[in-house]
Amino acid sequence: MTVTLLRGSDLIGRAVVDASTGEALAEIRDIVFSSGRGAITGFTLRRLGFFGRRLKTVLPVGALLSVGTDAVMVADSGAIADPADIPANMVSERSNDVIKDDVLTVSGRSLGTVRDVVILGGPDPRVVGFEIGGGQVGQGLIPLGAQAAVSGSALVVPDDFEQRIRSDLTGLAAELALIEGGQA
């Protein structure tokens, strides 16, 4: 199975497909991200189509088969949960939204603001980085790595992360491999 890096914004509008029937069930409306854990906990959904309205049902991350480049796959329609049955960690609060958070180094230098999240797709999707922009270092991609803190107002990274900013997903993937391999 091939896994890939995706921008979170690229998942918005992506079809949720029942792998047993091939039927598109809904579209991704938003990603529910636990900033405290740095993990995706699920997705909010909308009806199919350009003007699809928000659905009250959700898709917990544990019910996924895979997040792919063209669709989010589930075993069957039972993967989509009723709001009364959602896990407590899927409660989405605007204070947990990392988009537009300041990106600061531990020494207090501003690198910009978070523009998007970068997700490693596959059967266990997770946030692995952030797209940042608007700061003194310009626009780029920064690995999640060993950030000091993620909150509803700031992403704090080690001072050396300014040198880890990459211009594309391929460069970010290489940087992540170094970090996860303990070579950085």
Model confidence over 135-160: pLDDT tens digits? Answer: 777 788 888 765 656 666 788 888 88
Burial of 10 (0-12, 13-18, 19+ CB in 10 A): middle
**Pairing verdict, β 110-120 and 54-60:** unpaired
pTM of the model: 0.82
| pLDDT mean over 40-54 | 81
Q: Using alpha carbons, select from 62, 56, 81, 59 the residue that is nearest to residue 14.
A: 59
What are the DSSP E strand ranges found in 75-161?
Answer: 102-105, 110-120, 126-135, 138-143, 149-150, 154-157
Which architecture characterizes domain 96-180 according to CATH?
Roll (2.30)
Q: Looking at residue 48, what DSSP letter applies? A: S
Same fold, 5-93 and 96-180: yes
pLDDT at 95: 47
H or E, element range at 18 = strand 15-18
Q: Which CATH number fits domain 5-93: 3.50.50.60, 2.30.30.240, 2.40.30.30, 3.20.20.70?
A: 2.30.30.240
**Confidence tier at 93 by pLDDT (50, 70, 90):** very low
Tell me the domain boundaries of the chain. 5-93, 96-180
What is the C-alpha separation between 177 and 65, in angstroms, rounded? 24
